[in-house]
Amino acid sequence: MTSYKDLGLVNTKEMFAKAVKGGYAIPAYNFNNMEQMQAIIQACVETKSPVILQVSAGARQYANQTLLRYMAQGAVEYAKELGYNIPIALHLDHGADFEICKACVDSGFSSVMIDGSHHPYEKNIEITKKVVEYAHAHDVTVEGELGVLAGVEDDVVAEKSTYTKPEEVEDFVSKTGVDSLAISIGTSHGANKFKPEQCTRNAEGILIPPPLRFDILEEIEKRLPGFPIVLHGSSSVPQDLVKVINEHGGKMADAVGIPEEQLRKAAKSAVCKINIDSDGRIAMTAAVRKVFVDSPGEFDPRKFLGPARDSLKELYKLKNINVLGSANQA
Ligand code: G3H
Ligand code: 13P
Ligand code: ZN
């Protein structure tokens, strides 16, 4: 049993309380390798932002949970070395069952998500409550989910979305004791968040997606005043980066994300954690593809992973400053 407190990590309680009060959101960036971790920490130190390092089940399998935990511990020291001691939480993203949540609590995670959203309502309450009881006994915070996001992302699969029903949120939160609630208001995982036929096109032929359901968010806020709300699937799928990918041998067709102004609006509300993974993948892929095309003789991984890391860092700095509003809040 390793407590996150011995690793210098923090849970999300204080982070969220400050974010809700301050009208901004904490960035929750997924990582599964060293370059991503370095970019996230560099970006958050340079913008003085608190951060949630997120590990999915897929990341845990890919990189090994123990290694990831040591990397998060290293991240705390790395941030100090870079000159600023930002609050860092280590969070399990989309925990599917009690066992994975327990394994993460036991190995030093400071926060876990139990994603029971695919289960019937009563079953979701049952498994979420069980995770909350275990996690809270170790001062680990828990994120639950109500409503289903559309989209396909490795282990996170849902064919159809179901918006969160505002009339369920008070009952769910009081019966489970969760510390935060992920909701479904029109976002989805991955780089193709909407089908082209759901969008309109602007003069340049760029897809414009339908707006998020802010009416549902407002209704939830009314029912749970001051309670931390989480938005998954919040990548914006930057079209300039998609263009770089497609101009350098890639094939990302009809990729479309959530416009940044809508995320900024959400961050000013009860949304205090915004999950971003796909945009980071896109930034890294664009940088790597560019090196491969521009310098085909290159075979030192540092020569393409380095630019990928730099590009990721710049992207996340801009997110913290312009989208989440978390810059200078650490
Ligand atoms: O929510 C999904 C995240 O983007 C994690 O994706 O399961 O491919 O690691 P992954
Ligand atoms: P994106 O695929 O939009 O980056 O969402 C990531 C996410 O929700 C991780 O839980
Ligand atoms: Zn997610």
In a domain, 329, yes or no: no
Residue 217 · residue 229 · CB < 8 Å: yes
Quote the tokens at residue 314.
Answer: 């710049």
Residue 133 has pLDDT above 90, yes or no: yes
Q: Which ligand is nearest to the CA of 319?
A: 2
Would residue 330 count as lying in a domain? Answer: no
Measured in angstroms, how far is the CA atom of residue 190 from the centroid of ligand 2? Answer: 6
Q: Is residue 198 part of a domain?
A: yes
Q: Please list, residue by residue across 9-24, b when 16 or more beta carbons sit within 10 angstroms of its beta carbon and e when fewer do.
A: bbbbbebbebbbeeeb
Q: Is 193 a member of any domain?
A: yes
Question: Does position 176 have pLDDT exceeding 50, yes or no?
Answer: yes
* Residue linked to tokens 């939830």: 220
Q: What is the model's pLDDT at position 15? A: 98
Which residue type occupies 242? Answer: V
Ligand 2 neighbours, Cβ below 6 Å, are: 30, 93-94, 153, 189-190, 232-235, 275-279
- Whether residue 143 contacts residue 273, with contact meaning beta carbons closer than 8 Å, is answered with yes
- Measured in Å, residue 233 CA sits from the centre of ligand 3 at 6
- What is the greatest pairwise CA distance in the chain? 60
> Would you state the pLDDT for residue 30?
98
- Taking 90 as the threshold, does the pLDDT of residue 160 lie above it? no
The answer to whether 312 touches 35, Cβ cutoff 8 Å, is yes
Structural domain including 303 reads 4-324
Neighbours of 58 (CB within 10 A): 16
Q: Which tens digits make up the pLDDT trace of 191-250?
A: 999 989 889 999 988 899 999 999 999 999 999 999 999 999 999 999 999 999 999 999
pTM: 0.96
306 CA distance to ligand 1 middle (Å):
23
DSSP, residue by residue, 226-284:
T--EEE-S-----HHHHHHHHHTT---TT-B---HHHHHHHHTTTEEEEEE-HHHHHHH
State the pLDDT at residue 159: 56
Buried b / exposed e along 239-263 (16+ C-beta atoms within 10 A): eebbebbeebebebeebbbbebebb
- Residue 53 covered by a domain: yes
Determine the Cα–Cα distance for residues 287 and 304; give it in Å rounded to an integer.
7
Structure tokens at 83: 């000159």
> What is the per-residue pLDDT for 264?
98
Reported as a pLDDT band with limits 50, 70 and 90, residue 154 is very low
Q: What's the structural domain count of the chain? A: 1
Residue 312 lies in a domain: yes
pLDDT for residue 153:
45
Q: How many CB atoms lie within 10 A of CB 207?
A: 20
Protein residues with C-beta less than 5 angstroms from the ion ligand 3: 232, 275
162 pairs with which residues across the strands? 148
- Asked whether residue 202 is domain-assigned, the answer is yes
- Report yes or no on 317 lying in a domain: yes
Closest CA to 60 of 71, 75, 73: 71
Task: Provide the 10 A C-beta neighbour count for residue 123.
Answer: 11
- What CATH number corresponds to the domain at position 155? 3.20.20.70
